Amino acid sequence: MIELHGIAFSNYYNKVKFVLLEYDIAFEEVRVILPITDEATLAHTPVGKVPFIRTDEGDLSESQVIVEYLAARYPEKPIFPADPFEAAKVRELAAVLELSIELVARDLYPKWVPGPAASDETKARVQRVLERNVEGFKRIAKFAPYLRGETFTFADICAYVSLPLIGLMTKTVLGRDIVFDAGIDWKAYVKRIEQEKPAAQRIAADRKAQTAAFLAAKTA
């Protein structure tokens, strides 16, 4: 059986977990302590990131690589639309969101390896790039009600796990929620997905429980 390694408050971990749950692919979760520094675990995930999976065929890291593997390994599961162009549009949404928005916002997140907080220069750069790129995302994201229109797709899984984090981190560090201020009501979008998708309900519950346990351990 597939082992999914990571932590319940990682957006990329939850992206893979959502796919596994949504498409009913058997897996078990293995919790990992970050940062990953020991060679034994780095042998499974080369730069120490979660998620990674362990399978009978070997190990894989990088959430998108894992999802592409699952789609190829289980062709009967409609992880991507059957139509090649529609599937590419779904991947385009996921790539723009993750590479041009989430990865940019990541410079604001607390680091697993302790270090200085984001400088004013970093904050100004992140804000400038995010404002531009969120506008770009809006050119292709329909939110009607889903990113591609009426049908929930893999792109919504990526948005469900990342938009709240980007919204909350920009609000906390920059003093304003750049996603919401751009006209994306991500709270309503997330609520809809949680009402409709048992996978989202499970992810939200697991994240809440693990976050509470993490904070309790930190303050103990």
Q: Does 164 bind ligand GSH (CB under 6 A)?
A: no
Q: Give 8 or 134: the residue with its C-beta nearer to ligand GSH.
A: 8
Q: Give 72 or 113: the residue with its C-beta nearer to ligand GSH.
A: 113
Q: Does 74 bind ligand GSH (CB under 6 A)?
A: no
| CB 16, min distance to ligand GSH, A | 8
Residue count, binding to ligand GSH (CB under 6 A) = 13
Q: How far is CA 117 from the centre of its chain?
A: 22
Q: Does 69 bind ligand GSH (CB under 6 A)?
A: no
Q: Give 11 or 127: the residue with its C-beta nearer to ligand GSH.
A: 11
Q: Does 112 bind ligand GSH (CB under 6 A)?
A: yes
Q: Does 206 bind ligand GSH (CB under 6 A)?
A: no
Stretch that binds ligand GSH, among 4-12, 72-80, 181-189, 212-220 (CB under 6 A): 4-12
The token pair that represents 141 in the structure block: 């994201």
- Which string of DSSP letters, residue by residue, matches the chain? -EEEEE-TT-HHHHHHHHHHHHTT--EEEEE-PSSP--HHHHTTSTTS-S-EEEETTEEEESHHHHHHHHHHH-TTS-SS-SSHHHHHHHHHHHHIIIIIIIHHHGGGSPPSS--PPPPHHHHHHHHHHHHHHHHHHHHH---SSBTTBSS--HHHHHHHHHHHHHHHHHHHHHSS-HHHHTT--HHHHHHHHHHH-HHHHHHHHHHHHHHHHHHHHHH-
Q: Does 162 bind ligand GSH (CB under 6 A)?
A: no
Interface map 33-62 toward ligand GSH (x if CB under 6 A): -xx------------xxxx----------x
Q: Give 11 or 133: the residue with its C-beta nearer to ligand GSH.
A: 11
Which spans of this chain sit near ligand GSH (rule: CB under 6 A)?
10-12, 34-35, 48-51, 62-64, 112
